[in-house]
Amino acid sequence: MKISVIGTGYVGLATATVFAELGNEVIGADIDKGKIDKLNKGIMPIFEPGLKELVKRNLKEKRLRFTHNNKEAIEHAEVIFICVGTPPKANGETDLKYVEAVAKEIAQSMNSYKIIVHKSTVPVETGEMVKRIVKVNVKQNIDFDIVSNPEFLREGTAIKDTMEPDRIVIGADSKKAIEIMKKLYSQIKAPLVITDIKSAELIKHASNAFLATKISFINAVSQICGLSGANVERVAEGMGYDKRIVRAFLNAGIGYGGFCFPKDIQAFIKIAEKYGYDFQLLKATHNINEEQKLNFIKKVKKVLRNIEDKTIGVLGLSFKPDTDDMRFAPSIFIISELQKENAKIKAYDPEAMEKAKLILNDVEFCTDPYEVAKDADVLLILTEWNEFKEMDIKKIKSLMKKPLIIDGRNIYNPEDMLREGFSYISIGRKDVI
Ligand code: NAD
């Protein structure tokens, strides 16, 4: 099938590449010329395991190409995926300006029947908005259909998640569009949820809101564990065996970040507000997430007493492991709060350094965890990269001013750290000092 993907970020690039790998003729389009030039040379603009090999293979076999000319992409395809960003406005609502711009461009360049699929995360009723924009701007009387096909991939496992999703959601009101979408997805084995456009749009926001709430729930429980002397890891394990609960997303830490949960939770609160519903549960989810970062900073201040001029080593900057994505990463807030009190920050991340350098000021970026540890008063673990789980902890101890780790991701066992001679503070578990 001839398909185009407009917006080749984390979602668009994975979508375009996987559809090419499945044998379709795919064009990926993006207004960012730098990104497109890199992609056409086989250079990845983002870090995503397995992506580079797949892009290179499909470029070589000419199933995949990239352009910064949306018109070319629109004319090429029968199915057009909109995968542009949907960032938050200052008040938390979704800013749909990129989706609107692409809808207008599609209308103006439409040369035959098109299925316009919004894959970006958008508020319920965006499908109707896109339909209106296309109808108003289309030059000739050309037929088109709107489909909502939300994306559920996780950065770090984007290719696997696109190839083997838990489900495929297709929201449409046209039989023809549903049949074409089913054919497009026929090689991917996953339950198909065929529904109306509004329900499809809501499935995405409801799913992200539920997952974020699960994280905030265990973070709230971690507070009680910390205060009572219980261990949140054991509590999560004991809860997780219950098939109605499941262990995933019950990891206590410094809260969720990234391009999806923070903005999608705020957006869902605003969507509810628009319909006159006060989504109190989600407000609590958000507040607990904010508190979790503040509580972590309190722990740092409590143990260091005065943080002015202290050297604080930070391990992990990306919002989660296996990605270079720094958008809404908790590390940004935590580092800036510590800098307000004149702490000296040294930091390392296996993949996110390039992006972090564009965001964080006055940070000494190091080449590995050992350079961070050298002469540090404390090490903070902010992302649970495997590299940190496998560090030579004895070497780390020998390099630090004092052996003190504050672990925002619970990657070590407190007893092991005690045995290694560390003071070790983590989330919802007994401090070892
Ligand atoms: P991204 O910022 O990485 O990519 C968006 C791309 O769209 C950028 O490369 C940008 O240059 C391009 N773009 C903007 N306007 C354009 C235009 N007019 N024409 C062509 N290209 C244009 O964003 P992302 O992380 O891929 O997210 C995209 C959407 O998918 C968002 O709605 C997001 O909420 C949703 N989503 C993201 C993830 C994730 O893990 N990142 C997962 C599921 C859903």
Pairwise CA distance, residues 168 & 186, whole Å: 11
Specify whether the CB–CB gap between 123 and 271 falls below 8 A.
yes
Alpha carbon separation from 33 to 28, 82, 99, 290 (Å, rounded):
12, 18, 18, 36
Distance 9 CA to ligand 1 centre (A): 5
The predicted structure's pLDDT at residue 172: 98
Cα 349 to middle of ligand 1, angstroms = 23
- For a pocket test of ligand 1, which of 259, 268, 325, 327 has the largest count of ligand atoms closer than 8 A to its C-beta? 259
Pocket test for ligand 1, best of 5, 10, 167, 263 (most atoms within 8 A of CB): 10
Domains 2-195 and 198-433 share a fold: yes
**375 alpha carbon, distance to own chain's centre:** 33
The residue nearest atom 9 of ligand 1, judged by CA position, is 9
- Asked if residue 366 lies in contact with residue 348, where contact means CB atoms within 8 angstroms, the answer is yes
Q: Which residues are catalytic?
A: 260
- The reported pLDDT for the residue numbered 140 is 86
pLDDT one digit per residue (tens) for the chain, 433 residues = 999 999 999 999 999 999 999 999 999 999 999 999 999 999 999 999 999 999 999 999 999 999 999 999 999 999 999 999 999 999 999 999 999 999 999 999 999 999 999 999 999 999 999 999 999 999 888 999 999 999 999 999 999 999 999 999 999 999 999 999 999 999 999 999 999 999 999 999 999 999 999 999 999 999 999 999 999 999 999 999 999 999 999 999 999 999 999 999 999 999 999 999 999 999 999 999 999 999 999 999 999 999 999 999 999 999 999 999 999 999 999 999 999 999 999 999 999 999 999 999 999 999 999 999 999 999 999 999 999 999 999 999 999 999 999 999 999 999 999 999 999 999 999 999 8
What is the CATH topology of the domain spanning 2-195?
A: Rossmann fold (3.40.50)
For ligand 1, atom 2: residue with the closest CA? 85
Residue nearest to atom 28 of ligand 1 (CA): 85
Count of H helices and E strands in the chain? 18, 14
Residue with tokens 């190839």: 163
Give the whole-angstrom CA distance, residue 282 versus residue 259.
17
Position of tokens 């290694």?
420
Among protein residues, the one whose CA lies closest to atom 1 of ligand 1: 9
What is the secondary structure of 352-410 as a DSSP string? -HHHHHHH--SEEE-SSHHHHHTT-SEEEE-S--HHHHTS-HHHHHHHSSS-EEEETT-
Fold of 198-433: Rossmann fold (3.40.50)
Q: Where are the domains of the chain?
A: 2-195, 198-433
Give the distance (Å) from ligand 1 centre to CA of residue 87: 9
Question: In terms of residues, how long is the chain?
Answer: 433
404, 389 in Cβ contact below 8 A? Answer: no
Name the DSSP class of 66.
Answer: E
**Half-sphere exposure for 158 (CA within 13 Å, toward CB):** 26
Q: Which atom of ligand 1 is nearest to the CA of 11?
A: 26
Give me the half-sphere count of Cα atoms (radius 13 Å) on the Cβ side of residue 256: 26
CB 380 within 8 A of CB 313: yes
**Is residue 217 packed enough to be buried (19+ CB in 10 Å), middle (13-18) or exposed (0-12)?**
middle
pTM summary value: 0.96
Pocket test residue of 69, 151, 166 for ligand 1, highest count of atoms within 8 A of CB: 151
pLDDT value for 330: 98
Distance 99 CA to ligand 1 centre (A): 10
From CA 80, how far away is CA 60, in angstroms rounded? 22
Residues with CB under 6 A from ligand 1: 6-12, 29-32, 35, 70, 83-86, 98, 101-102, 120-121, 151, 153, 155, 259-260
373 C-alpha to center of ligand 1: Å? 36
Are β-strands 144-148 and 363-365 bridged in parallel, bridged antiparallel, or unpaired? unpaired
